[in-house]
Amino acid sequence: MTSTNKDPILVVVQLTGGNDYMNTVIPYQDPVYYDSRKTVGVAQDDVLPISDDLAFNPALNAVKIMYDEGKVAVINGIGYPCPNRSHFRSMDIWHTCEPEKVGNEGWLGRAIRDLDPQAENVLTGVNFGRGLPRAMALTGVPVASVAVLETYGVLTGISGEQERAEALDLFSRMYSPILGTGPVMDYLGSTGLDALKGADILKTVPGQYQSSVEYADSIIGRNLQGIAKVLTANLGTRIFYTQQPGYDTHANQGPVHGVLLAHLSQAVSDFYDDLKEHNASENVLIYLFTEFGRRVKDNGSGTDHGAGGLAMAIGDPVKGGIYSEFPSMREEDLEEGDLKYNIDFRGVYGTVAEKWLGLDASSIVGGKFEQLDFV
């Protein structure tokens, strides 16, 4: 690997459940917003304006500070044709860039393959969470999926250190190639050895990490801190992935959504400060996305699945500002009661892949789409 610690790094944060776009970036001057959102609307006096018409939810205070420093790109009205309102299917589309047919290759899997075609580093891609997100799945591309860094690994149920070392040694021998056992056994073998190799490297990480930044306690805070530990250990990881669950706010949206955004905002800010302290922030781009926005009209308690969403790019390399138009909320401009997207998400992924990671976008996102200039 030629990778040095100044190679561009991408950290993707998935807001799972369908983040309510219009209550994250609020069109606070538009009466249609307040008419449509009698229950969940955020009062004009409370919002944090970022332009004459748009404002952040007050829970995004920490992100607002970064926005003012020019480190946050707000990408409005992101989506894809014929939006799907099923969580799973829609998330799948965002993961695979296949809105028409069901794909099984993830766009980040393809990016990892292009960054490290020989799969020399089993940690080129690292996910924080249980199970591999489809975005990172691609046959032959090893990705470590870490629930908790400190306890990550194979055969973690064995408590004795010596005993576990011996078991892992045996495991690696039992997963080594055996001539003539066929391609599936070979594949399982190399996958097992990759997992072992990744775990071996990662176990050294917690011991190396030191920071004066204290993360506010939340799921997303813990995951981003885990990412910071691996990132600052300079293991050559280029793509990180994690999720913040809970955005499916059909009911009781007000308090729930605010807490989620506050956790997110503080975690991103803590993460940034941590990287800054380690002199590691200038080559890290944080990218936030969700599977869909929510309906323009609230349902009296929360909001139902909609379309047209929000993405954000955050970090030192980002040219801060507002990108793409906030879609019209007027009745006649809606599509089945939802905002119409005005930038294809594949163009935004393409921007990240090409302008940030230096890869050919079209093979990663499956075609040519309009790109933006936020990086």
Interaction site with another protein (CB under 8 A): 86-89, 92, 102, 104, 122, 127, 130-132, 134, 137, 139, 142-145, 153-158, 166-167, 170-171, 173-175, 178, 181, 183-185, 187-189, 191-192, 194-195, 198-199
Cα–Cα–Cα angle for 13, 235, 6, rounded to 5 degrees:
80
Crossing angle for the helix pair 161-174 and 183-202, nearest 10 degrees?
150
* Between 183 and 255, CB nearer to another protein: 183
User: HSE of 334 in the Cβ direction (CA atoms, 13 Å)?
Assistant: 16
Neighbours of 134 (CB within 10 A): 20
* Displacement of CA 332 from its chain's centroid (Å): 33
DSSP label of 39: T
* Between 55 and 195, CB nearer to another protein: 195
The distance of closest approach from Cβ of residue 270 to another protein in the complex, given in angstroms and rounded to an integer, is 26
The distance of closest approach from Cβ of residue 292 to another protein in the complex, given in angstroms and rounded to an integer, is 12
Nearest to 346 by CA among 327, 357, 323, 362: 362
**DSSP result, 226-279:** HHHHHHHTT----EEEEEE-----SSSHHHHHHHHHHHHHHHHHHHHHHHHHTT
- Cα–Cα distance, 21 to 78 (Å, whole number): 10
Is the CB of residue 224 less than 8 Å from the CB of residue 281?
A: no
Question: Which amino acid, 54?
Answer: L
* Between 44 and 139, CB nearer to another protein: 139
* Between 104 and 252, CB nearer to another protein: 104
- Cα–Cα distance, 156 to 199 (Å, whole number): 10
The distance of closest approach from Cβ of residue 257 to another protein in the complex, given in angstroms and rounded to an integer, is 19
* Between 64 and 134, CB nearer to another protein: 134
DSSP label of 352: I
The distance of closest approach from Cβ of residue 198 to another protein in the complex, given in angstroms and rounded to an integer, is 7
Question: Which amino acid, 348?
Answer: V
The distance of closest approach from Cβ of residue 330 to another protein in the complex, given in angstroms and rounded to an integer, is 25
The distance of closest approach from Cβ of residue 199 to another protein in the complex, given in angstroms and rounded to an integer, is 8
* Between 155 and 259, CB nearer to another protein: 155
* Between 117 and 182, CB nearer to another protein: 182
Name the helix (H) or strand (E) containing 14. Answer: strand 9-15
The distance of closest approach from Cβ of residue 231 to another protein in the complex, given in angstroms and rounded to an integer, is 19
- Residue 148, both tokens: 């908790």
The distance of closest approach from Cβ of residue 204 to another protein in the complex, given in angstroms and rounded to an integer, is 18
* Between 175 and 345, CB nearer to another protein: 175
Residue keyed to tokens 């304006």: 49
